[in-house]
């Protein structure tokens, strides 16, 4: 079995056992999770663990989220294929690569320059052309390309930043962990129902790294 075939088989098993069995059923999300080569986004020496059911270390002391969480949050955005999506916290670029298969255009913002550079390089090497990586304070969003049909935040803040709400289109969905710095956090989905109205749902309890920046926790 070739190296690539071996990883493809592992991703199939990952999707079946870790993702589908836990209730993620959107066929487009499952297909994206099968196709995006997660092993290309982890640190050298960690490829063998790329499909494990847990976060893994990446550069700058950060982590790549466990596959199930990436799939769950992607499904929660309810993407159909023609959306413009904003991701806050590029990390390795893995979740952006998944979103790139589900939406028309993805803007991803990373505050750590080294991670932004690595993510951009990995995505380019894989030929992912519809993701734009920006190095900036993610709590302020990326107003240049707003409004967004969907926004996903991969770190936990005390509240949903006002800047992100303002950049969400009416009818758009924002998925983000909200809660205490080092304690109780909930993954929430906020749907902008009108110019000045929103609907909020709690999806599950989670533990994420802190969202730092002007409208997050102090860095």
Q: What is the pLDDT of residues 173-216, one digit of tens each?
A: 999 999 998 889 999 999 999 999 999 999 999 999 999 999 99
Is residue 2 scored above 90 in pLDDT? no
- Predicted TM-score of the model (pTM): 0.96
- DSSP secondary structure, 7-68, as one string: HHHHHHHHIIIIIGGGT---HHHHHHHHHS-GGGTSPTT-GGGTTSSS-EE-GGG-EEPPHH
Per-residue pLDDT tens over the stretch 105-131: 999 999 999 999 999 999 999 999 999
| 213 burial via Cβ count (<10 Å: 0-12, 13-18, 19+) | buried
Cis ω for the linkage preceding 168 (within 30 of 0):
no
| 101 and 35 Cβ atoms separated by less than 8 Å | yes
% of the chain at pLDDT higher than 90: 95
pLDDT at 217 over 80: yes
Nearest of 82, 108, 80, 95 to residue 41 by alpha carbon: 95
Q: Give residue 122's pLDDT.
A: 98
Q: How many CB atoms lie within 10 A of CB 200?
A: 11
- Specify whether the CB–CB gap between 121 and 60 falls below 8 A: no
Question: Which of the following is catalytic: 65, 90, 92, 120?
Answer: 65
At 154, the pLDDT band (50, 70, 90 cuts) reads very high
Strand 148-153: give its sheet, edge to edge.
Answer: 131-135, 105-110, 84-88, 148-153, 168-179, 185-194, 197-206
**Per-residue buried b or exposed e for 67-95, using 16+ beta carbons within 10 Å of the residue's own CB:** bbbbbbbbbbbbbeeebbbbbbbbbbbbb
User: Is 197 exposed, middle or buried, given 0-12, 13-18 or 19+ CB atoms closer than 10 A?
Assistant: exposed
Residue 183 pLDDT: 85
92 is catalytic: no
């Amino acid at each position: 079995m070739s190296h690539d075939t071996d990883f493809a088989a592992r991703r199939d098993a990952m999707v079946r056992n870790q993702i589908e069995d836990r209730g993620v059923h959107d066929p487009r999300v499952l297909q994206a999770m099968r196709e995006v080569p997660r092993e290309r986004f982890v640190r050298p020496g960690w490829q063998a663990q790329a499909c494990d059911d847990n976060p893994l270390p990446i550069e700058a002391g950060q982590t790549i989220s466990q596959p199930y969480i990436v799939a769950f949050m992607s499904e929660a955005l309810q993407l159909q294929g023609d959306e413009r999506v904003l991701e806050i916290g590029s990390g390795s670029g893995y979740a952006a690569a998944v979103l790139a298969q589900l939406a028309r255009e993805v803007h991803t913002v990373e505050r750590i320059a080294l991670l932004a550079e690595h993510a951009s390089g990995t995505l380019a090497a894989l030929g992912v052309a519809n993701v734009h990586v920006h190095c900036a304070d993610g709590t302020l969003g990326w107003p240049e390309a707003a409004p967004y049909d969907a926004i996903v935040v991969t770190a936990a803040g005390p509240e949903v930043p006002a800047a992100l709400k303002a950049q969400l289109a009416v009818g758009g969905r924002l998925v983000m962990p909200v809660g205490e710095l080092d304690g109780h956090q909930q993954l929430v989905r906020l749907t902008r129902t009108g110019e000045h109205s929103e609907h909020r749902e709690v999806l599950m309890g989670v533990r994420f790294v802190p969202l730092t920046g002007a409208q997050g926790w102090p860095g």
